Amino acid sequence: MFERFTEKARRAIFFARYEASQYGSAYIEAEHLLLGLLREDQRLIRSLLRAGESIRKEIESRITIRERISTSVEVPLTPECKRVLHYAVDEANRLGHRHVGTEHFLLGILREEKCMAAEILRERGVQLATVRDQIKATQKPDLDMAATRKPELDAAGEMAARLAGVWNDGDPVEFAALVVEEGEFVDAQGTLWKGTRETGQGFVDLHARDCKGSKIASAASDILSVSYDVVVLRIDWQLAGAKGSEHRRLHWMLVLAQFGGMWEIVAAQSLIVRS
């Protein structure tokens, strides 16, 4: 993940660590990362926030300031701050950017809605959708991003086609073979099936209940998110071939991950939609 971070982004993390130590915090919190952005990217702050100094004062009014910690002491990221960085990577992927910069960090903070930093930003009128649109308007997607994602896109398309065949065949063994050993499958009634044996049985029950002699007449798939080893895929199937089935659609949500060069299902959920 960190290899995609720009120099500015890396320096922002360095400054976040410095801010944490100055306030005597044993961990780097999301608010320290926001202060790191204030130090590192004044251009971003001026264009999107216009309230740098008041943000620092607001943070200082909400935290407990302790004795400074030496810069030689390791200060780790909190789970909250780690999520912010993962959100930043996801935002870069959404925007088609190979790099992960300070602007993506800001989006990551705003996505961690309950953290102090996000609350302070929202109080100043900074909204996730607005900042995302501003970044989208000023930064074009990388030209080679589609090529970079091609293996993941191909894997998603292939998985959608294989699942359609498995459904029409009603083959639980073949379905279970597509799921990782510790994978999870949730049916339309909310029943959770875990592991290959249970997911195969869940498929049998689901197929018997929802298929009722029908087959997939048409299919549409939509890739909701792509990273370099995970794909979130939505599939909609129109069922036909049995009485009443022309008004039934099967809706699946899948999380695919790559293991040993093979793409497998980590989690799946099935819903029935009546149109």
pLDDT in tens, 92-134: 888 888 889 999 999 999 999 999 999 999 988 889 999 999 8
What global pTM score does this model have? Answer: 0.55
Instruction: Report the alpha-carbon distance of residue 131 to residue 76 in Å, rounded.
Output: 28
β-strand pairing of 179-186 with 262-274: parallel
The model's pLDDT over 56-104, given as tens digits with 9 standing for 90+, comes to 889 999 999 999 998 778 899 999 999 999 999 989 888 888 889 999 9
Q: Which amino acid is at 164?
A: A
Q: List, in sequence order, every residue forming a beta bridge with 251; answer none if it has no partner.
A: 236, 271
Residue 48 pLDDT > 50, yes or no? yes
**What domains appear along the chain, each with residue ranges and CATH number?**
2-138 (1.10.1780.10), 145-274 (3.10.450.50)
- Using an 8 Å Cβ cutoff, are 88 and 107 in contact? yes
